[in-house]
Chain A
């Protein structure tokens, strides 16, 4: 039934759109033929303008009905309920209303319905039909009325194009505001929920605490300890390992592809390495636990180290692999931007290729590479699925990278998954963690983007 009405509404709007456009178009055409005068705007714009004016009020009415229709219908049914049923609340009342709706739709209810239910059902069916007709007629009527008003405005001098363009401009502005709204939404939701969290746990205990032990209330006993430091340490350790893997490989690969490789090798190898960037992180996580973890663990056995299969090292190495293409393509771009004259000057003085790269190219590209490095770090810090699967989820402060750890992102997932009433510190802490994460990555990004931009301007 609701689906049917939405189809009716959609059809109504489309028909109205077509008619209104046609009316505006032919009216403006008629003016040209009748008076021979030149119009300010072309007929399409007159048609569009009339269509917009006709649709807006119709849509407004349908939206109003969508917002309040349900409540109005419910109030109407309530009038038919006997006092004892009307006094019910919550799910029982909803169930009673649902029975009446089923009766009204002709589907019926199992068993024999009470007499008042049948009466209410019949009345509701009538009411639904009448309100539907009223809404449709109202929307169509007002739409058509608006259409005729807009039609009378059509004159050779009407600046229809400018009006349509002004409306399009407003739509464009609204669209670009969404990006701002997103940021505002992120900041607002993180801060409000984090403040609620800090009403349970003091910020000092959160930011300086060394124990992470969020006890769920169902297990009883206090509200747990929410120390950020073990998680932050885990995040830093994993990111550090990732950068230790990604920076040398990524940078050297970029240098080789940029300076040494023949165009043919470059054309083949570069896309293959960049393919690593397109693989979803959950797949990397799976790869970490089935291949890299066991491999590192057996490697540890060989050299006599006790290496856990899920550990900071496993997650870090795999995250490093993920970040290699990120570093290599950014560095490649940056190396390309270093002016050729600098390289040629160095060659002219007799330097070998590697000397040119190490003494001229890299110092010149350093700011850009630092920027790329910071962007990569911010990426590593915010990465979630790899650490969820491969880091071992053990939020304890330890220095050994071969033991399980936990990170900020892992704890966000653990604390919030499947729980959305946001009542206790157990779930609210996710927002405090998210706020920390957002702040760290924001600072890193701003610094990195600033450095990269400065670097670009230097050589432009």
Chain B
């Protein structure tokens, strides 16, 4: 400013006006600067707030459902109820099929017995004499799957008859809701799932220690169940996802790495390789549901592979994951310094030896990371699986990749739609925690291996 003044000494008025204008402009510009900066900060904060709300919701809803109420009861295998106590013995010369038929007939007979009476008697033994409840109200405290568990216990060990065993039985989902406050406790009788005496009993049992909180192992050890929500678990879905991930790893990694090696190292630049390149980039951005349509039309409808099978799901997810692995591997191969290739070639290695003995091992950490990220992505994918029938209700743990199975994300989809919302909102959140936990674990493993391998290299 002083220079302006000295250059034009006669116009000091003009100068001061100009100085004022500049100053005013500067203030405005600085306000703009601060506002712009504030906008940027606000965007960051908004994103962080979303992350916080997200995890707060999921964890807040999910963590309580890892605890679940159980009833400690003395269960008597009453011979008056169990009227067909002895399993068939195997006769000499009886064929396997005949023996199995006889055993099944016996099991059917056992299943036809009134196990509810045994459960009811066990609960009633704990009830004070003053409480007046009918059978339905008593049974509403215990999850319906528990009578099957008693039956299975008996089938496995028929000598239990007449004995009294101290057992832990899962409380029903409605008791769980009531005790956790997942259902509004002030609602009128008509709107409550449990009757008034049953609710009072649940509270009394919790107070006297007949009901205690237990870690909900059922989430991990049981399969899905519609009739018995409190016993519904992720075991089947977990195995289904595991099989699919195995298929993805076994197929996507070798194929992806092989095609990346070919495209990056061997293919001469031509129209065809250009097309393949554009094509792979496009495949990476094709919506996942389109892969589901492909699976439904080709694998299911044309090749008649089984519906709901993890093998088919794994193949669809493989096609979806391939571009990720190919692109990452190519980027890694591009990053290998030319000196390494020249040194190998200079010592007389063939091109194939150069690639497989020297270039590829260097890229191993990147390929591993890309694989794990691709697998984590495939693990969370839902839409394509719905189209190849993996949303079927499956109440068994798949024994092979060709058996019917659900998958973790599909199980979340099925549970969130369950009509017992109060209970399943929590259980779905628990399933989400398991899924997110697995994905975080995978990513942590990727980061760990990467830093370790890179340090060594």
Contact = CB atoms under 8 A, between A and B. Distances in A.
Interface of A: 102, 106-111, 161-162, 165, 168-169, 171-173, 175-180, 182-183, 185-186, 189-190, 192-193, 248-253, 255-257, 259-261, 269, 272-273, 275-276, 278-283, 285-287, 289-291, 321, 324-325, 328, 352-355, 357-358, 375, 378-379, 381-385, 388-389, 409, 412-413, 416-418, 420, 422, 430-431, 434, 437-438, 441-442, 445-446, 449
B57 to A, nearest CB: 5
B290 A183 contact: no
Given A111-B98, A281-B382, A249 B297 contact: no
Interface string B245-282: 00000000011101101110011000000011011111
Interface string B291-335: 111101110111000010000000000010011001000000000
Given A182-B283, A385-B383, A355 B29 contact: yes
Nearest to B251: A178
Nearest to A269: B44
B272 to A, nearest CB: 9
Interface string B404-417: 00000100110010
Contacts of B40: 252-253, 255-256, 259-260
A186 B294 contact: yes
Given A165-B352, A175-B258, A283 B285 contact: no
Given A171-B258, A176-B259, 20 more contacts: A175-B258, A182-B319, A190-B293, A253-B43, A253-B47, A256-B37, A256-B44, A280-B435, A283-B432, A353-B36, A382-B288, A383-B287, A384-B288, A388-B383, A389-B416, A413-B383, A416-B387, A422-B301, A441-B290, A445-B286
B430 to A, nearest CB: 12
Contact of B33 (A111, A353, A389): A353
9 contacts: A172-B258, A249-B47, A252-B40, A273-B51, A282-B380, A282-B412, A379-B287, A382-B289, A441-B290
A279 B380 contact: yes
* Dominant secondary structure at the B interface: helix
B61 A354 contact: no
In the A-B complex, the 8 residue pairs with the closest CB atoms: A382-B287, A280-B380, A108-B95, A256-B40, A176-B259, A252-B43, A189-B297, A354-B36
Nearest to A281: B382
A431 B292 CA distance: 11
A176 B266 CA distance: 11
Interface of B: 29-30, 32-33, 36-37, 39-44, 46-48, 50-51, 53-54, 57-58, 61, 95-98, 100-101, 254-256, 258-259, 261-263, 266-267, 275-276, 278-283, 285-294, 296-298, 300-302, 307, 319, 322-323, 326, 350, 352, 376-377, 379-383, 386-387, 389, 391-392, 409, 412-413, 416, 425, 428-429, 432, 435-436, 439, 443
A175 B262 contact: yes
Nearest to B411: A282
Nearest to B256: A175
A314 to B, nearest CB: 14
A348 B389 CA distance: 63
B287 A381 contact: yes
A32 B301 CA distance: 57
B282 A420 contact: no
B298 A282 contact: no
Contacts of B256: 175
B266 A169 contact: yes
Given A180-B276, A416-B387, A434-B293, A280 B44 contact: no
B33, B48, B286, B293: residue with the most chain A Cβ atoms closer than 10 Å: B293
Given A255-B40, A282-B380, A434-B293, A110 B97 contact: yes
Nearest to B381: A280
Contact of B436 (A283, A325, A416): A283
Given A287-B58, A409-B287, A417-B391, A172 B293 contact: no
A275 B439 CA distance: 11
Contact of B57 (A248, A290, A446): A290
A269 B98 CA distance: 68
Contacts of B29: 352, 355
Given A110-B101, A176-B259, A354 B32 contact: yes
Contacts of B266: 169, 172
A354 B441 CA distance: 40
Contacts of A385: 382-383, 413
A413 B289 CA distance: 8
Nearest to A179: B280
B380 A283 contact: yes
